[in-house]
Amino acid sequence: MGKEMEKLEKIVLNKIDEMRDEIIKFHQQIIQIPSENPPGKYKEVAKFTERKMNEIGLKTQVKRKNVIGELQNGSGKTLIFNGHYDTVQAFKNWTKDPIGGEIEDGKIYGRGASDDKSCVTAEIFATQALIEAGVKLKGKLIVTAVGDEELGGLNGAELLLSSGVINGDTCLLGDGPTDFPFGYTGGTMYITFAITGKTGHGLGTPDVPPPFRNKYSGINTIEKMLKIMNFLVDLNKEFLQIETEYPLMADSTNKISWVNLAEIHGGTKISTVPDKCYLHCSVNLIPEQDTASIKKRILDFVEDLKNKDPDLDIKVQIPISMEPFVIDGKSDFAQAVKKSSEIIHKEVKEFKLFMPSTDAHWFQERGIETIIIGTGRGDNNSHAADEFVYIEDLINTTKLYALTALNYLK
């Protein structure tokens, strides 16, 4: 194989260099089509993406505005490329036009320029380069451009997988940093505590303890929530004790797991006993943890509180619960990604841990080996004003996708 493969790799890389202007132009155009989520109006961006996929010769279908392109060559493994075209909203404080696609100093500006339209552009042009280079991949390459990622992915990647529209052995997913392949991903839990109490006059019938209280006394839900908050703060102290063994990028602060006390609502007036209190938290899990044991810790604590306090009316909801995942670094797919990454960057690239959740877990939960690599860097203002992508990163990501498909579906 050696020499033959090296030759093919060169041809494909040259193709991508030749397509540079075309890639930049397409990327500016896709940025110029707003696809903020919410509201999630994807008709135009889906049409634009599907048209391009058709142009390069993919067999396409669109399922609820999610675009799928397929390239099939005989039997073999199936590799999925997954990028999302929905973006967070483009708010004020931009000095550039968020839907302008302006170029300055080797950067393309706009909402989604990096997160994650860059990966939609990269995966499509990677496929085009393979086709134009006359590469005959064995097996199937599925190129997906989905919506809804920024709100959890239920109507995007999850929908395509659960309805059986797509399935595969492996997935290369954008939506992450660019310098390393990410073979280890953190988990996520969203937890809501809702306490119901009894309102009353804050001065006349406050929530006092026995023997001072009577049937008119209020039940103060903010005070009760304090116990939950103190428990979570203590849990964080425990989390400080377990550092992940998986390598992170140099500037990452995600060595440990953490309960983020994100939102609290409760009370109506300064003179009234609050009868409702809600607390929303998010937890990031390192690969050494699992959602079940954290869930058990929390529910056990709440059960114990209830047993001690008959007035405590509390509900715990965990609407999102995603496990951390780690790949087998020796698999064919991992090796293909690693090799491609090393060809492009001309240095050894070990797998790293990426903690924030993405659409990756939808694939991982179904046993589809998933590796993340995108165009993100600390400075490119993803989810902030003046988001941009470095053109060099866009091109390199395109190359990485192409070489991975070439090396894996050989």
Positions touching Zn ion (CB under 5 A) are 115-116, 175
According to DSSP, the β-strands at 187-196 and 59-63 are unpaired
Question: Which CB, 110 or 139, lies closer to Zn ion?
Answer: 110
- What's the gap between Cα 131 and its chain centre? 29
**Residue 85 beta carbon to Zn ion: minimum distance, rounded to whole angstroms:** 10
CB of 175 to Zn ion, least distance (A): 4
Q: Where is 93: in which H helix or E strand?
A: none
Question: Are the CB atoms for 61 and 165 separated by under 8 Å?
Answer: yes
| Identity of the residue, 37 or 289, whose beta carbon is nearer to Zn ion in the bound complex | 37
Write down the least CB distance from residue 31 to Zn ion, Å.
Answer: 14
- Cβ burial of 293 (10 Å; 0-12, 13-18, 19+) is exposed
Closer CB to Zn ion, residue 83 or residue 287? 83
User: Nearer to Zn ion by C-beta: 130 or 360?
Assistant: 360
Exposure string of 56-84, with b = 16+ CB inside 10 Å and e = fewer, is bebeeebbebbbbbbbeeeeebbbbbbbb
Query: Which residue, 36 or 175, is less far from Zn ion as judged by CB?
Result: 175
**Which three-class secondary structure state does DSSP give residue 136?**
coil
State how far the Cα of 376 lies from the Cα of 400, in Å rounded to an integer.
14
Query: In whole angstroms, how close is the CB of 321 to Zn ion at the nearest point?
Result: 20
CB of 266 to Zn ion, least distance (A): 32
In angstroms, what is the minimal distance from the CB of 238 to Zn ion?
30
Q: What is the token pair recorded at 177?
A: 């940093």
SS3 category, 127: helix
Q: Which residues of 198-236 are buried (b: 16+ CB within 10 A; e: fewer)?
A: bbbebeebbbeeeeeeeeebbbbbbbbbebbbebbeebb
* Nearer to Zn ion among residue 113 and residue 406 (C-beta): 113
Closest to Zn ion by CB, 148 or 175? 175
Name the H helices within 68-164. 117-132, 157-162
Provide, rounded to whole angstroms, the least separation between the CB of residue 212 and Zn ion. 54
